[in-house]
Amino acid sequence: MTSPLQQKIKITGPSVVTANRTWDGVVIYRTAAKNWTTDLSEAAIVREVDEARALLAEAAADDLGAIGAYIAPVEIGDDGAIEPGNLREQIRSEGLTIGLPVPA
């Protein structure tokens, strides 16, 4: 596999760096404080390719904490709220679009 750092980076709008947490697989986002959060609203937002590359490089260096880091699109609402930029990211952030098959 190409390492995330060798990938061509193309961003078309506000983006975040996301990954899965190593010990439990949970979806996480890179913060400006060089840490991870499970809350998209706390994610560091990047808008330029160089910025994105730097955030990704710094995130990917944390091999112990996170796996599969990549850049994902987000949308910023008028009120400044960060929303997932596509369906895949929406599902990662908000969960399944179906109910869990567990009886009440």
Partner 1 sequence: MYAYDELDRTLINERVSEFRDQVRRRLSGELSEDEFKMLRLQNGVYLQLHAYMFRVAIPYGTLSSKQLRQLAHVARRYDRGYGHFTTRQNIQFNWIKLTDLPDALADLAEVGIHAMQTSGNNTRNVTSDQWAGVAPGEIEDPRIWSELLRQYTTLHPEFSFLPRKFKFAITASEHDRAAIKVHDIGLRLHKNAQGETGFEVLVGGGLGRTPFIGKTIKPFVAGRDLLSYVEAILRVYNQYGRRDNIYKARIKILVHELGIEKFAKEVEQEWLQIRDGALALDDAVIEEVRSRFTYPVYENLPNLPEELKKAAHDPKFEAWRKNSVFPHKVPGYAIVTLSLKPVGGPPGDATAEQMDAIADLAEKYSFGEIRVGHEQNLALPHVAKRDLPMLWRALDRIGVATPNINLVSDIIACPGLDYCSLANARSIPIAQEITRRFANHETANLIGRLHINISGCINACGHHHVGHIGILGVEKNGEEFYQITIGGRADEHAVVGTLIGPAVRYGEVADVIEDIVEAYLALRANPDELFIDTVKRLGVEPFRERVYATR
Residues near partner 1, by CB under 8 A: 20, 22-27, 63-64, 67-68, 86-88, 91-92, 95-98, 100-103
CB of 87 to partner 1, least distance (A): 7
CB of 103 to partner 1, least distance (A): 6
* Between 7 and 25, CB nearer to partner 1: 25
CB of 17 to partner 1, least distance (A): 16
Q: Which of 84, 96, 97 is nearest to 13 (CA)?
A: 84
d(CA 86, CA 99): 20
Sequence-ordered list of residues with C-beta below 8 angstroms from that of 25, at least 6 positions apart, any chain: none
